Every structure is written in C-alpha cells, then in structure tokens.
Amino acid sequence: MKRLFYFSILLLGIISTLSVSAADKNKWQPLFGTNLSDASYNPEIWSMTDGVLAAVQDESIWTKTEYENFELDLDFKTDVGTNSGVVIYCTDTKDWIPNSVEIQIADDHCEKWGNGKPFEKCGAIYGHLGAKQDKVVKKPGEWNHMRIRCAGQHITVILNGKKVTEMDMSKWTSGTVNPDGSEIPSWLPKPFAELPTKGYIGLQGKHGDSLIWFRNVKVRSL
C-alpha cells in the first residue's frame, strides 16, 4: 500500500508539472523579450521609449526565435500615409519579401492607400488577399489593436475588434495570380501554398516619409 501511495504522489507531481509547463507555454510573452533582448535589430534605427517601439528608417526588427501555430497581439499607431506591416513565417530575414507573409498596416484615410488595391489596405495579406472592410483602421495618431492568429496555413486577422481577413494559404497555388483572378505583385513570386508555416516574426520600419509606432507586442503558442 505504501508503494502505491508514493507512486500516486509521484504521478500527481508529474501531472502537475506537465500542466504548469503547458500553461506557461500558452501564456502571453513579450515578442521581443525584455528591453528587446530577444530581437535582431539595428539600434541606430529601432528604439523603445516608454514602451513604444519606433523606427527612423525602412529596416525591419526580427525575433531571434522561429514561431509556428501562434497568436500575435499588438497595438500600432499610424502617421499620415503610413505603409508598414507585420511579417510572419519568414524563413530569410535578409531577403524577407518573397520568403514570408505580410499583414499590411496602412493609413487607409489618406488618398494613396484609401484608393489603393484591396490587398494594399490595412489588415490585408499584402499582395494576396484584401481585407473584408475598409477603414477599420483609425485615423493617424490614434492607437489601433490587432490580433493575428496563425494555425498552419490558416491566418486570421482581427483589427479593432473586427475580423477583417481570413486566409487558407493552400488555395494560393500560383505565384502570379490570386484565386480571385487579381495579379500578384511580381516581387512575390512564391505560391503561398508552398511556403513554410514556421519562421521569424518581424515588424516593418519607417517606409517612405511616414512613421509607424508599436506597443504591447506579445505572442503565445496555440
């Protein structure tokens, strides 16, 4: 009986440890660690002040860790004319544009992006799938909230509480034409159906003359 008792205690301890480990794995964690300790970036371009992350040039900041099956949660604020993005599934940070998926961040209230193609607007999968609604993004200077869920080839984008984009990458079997018949930009030649669904996560810096700000950037495993 004593052996059975001690074995039961040991088993409960193991189960408890496994439960804690699973719970820790699914907790929100800062994407770039404490004070950007888990980020690959140029400190002359990217900086964090009072919890707000910003860049002065068009160069991305990347995680040091590759992610798959995760949720990403963040706040962002645009400038007039901002064109930026959140990059996922990146397998080559030096040549990230054709080797990743970009969720567009844009100032849809300016003429250029407001009158742009559906896949250029805020919340879209850039070059591939337009957002379901226009101008869900707030006007420049106001904070927005975005959550991106990545479960294998299934990507969901929620912007300011509204589900704006849902993609099944397996349907993108061409590198030149989207399933709806629209043209894919020539600099994105790899079919999404063939892209790996594990990679680095990045934030695009200042693109053109307009700034972008991020805060509360966190991630958790599914």
* Residue 12 predicted with pLDDT over 70: no
Tell me the per-residue pLDDT of 69-119, one tens digit each, with 9 for 90 and over. Answer: 999 999 999 999 999 999 999 999 999 999 999 999 999 999 888 888 999
Mean pLDDT score across all residues of the chain: 91
Q: Return the pLDDT at 19.
A: 45
Cα four-point dihedral sign 36, 76, 87, 185: negative
Supply the pLDDT for residue 169: 98
Pair 125, 132: CB distance under 8 Å:
no
pLDDT tens track for 163-212 = 999 999 999 999 999 999 999 999 999 999 999 999 999 999 998 889 99
Each residue's pLDDT tens digit, 43-55: 999 999 999 999 9
Note the pTM of the prediction, 2 decimals: 0.88
Cβ distance 63 to 200 under 8 Å?
Answer: yes
pLDDT (0 to 100) of residue 5: 47
Paired with 46 in beta bridges are: 55
Question: What's residue 81's pLDDT?
Answer: 95
CB 89 within 8 A of CB 150: yes
What domains are there in the chain, each with its CATH number? 27-219 (2.60.120.560)
Quickly state the pLDDT bin for 134 (edges 50, 70, 90). confident
**What pLDDT, on the 0 to 100 scale, is given for residue 207?**
84
Q: Kindly tell me if the per-residue pLDDT of 3 is higher than 60.
A: no
- Its sign, for the CA torsion 70, 71, 76, 80, is positive
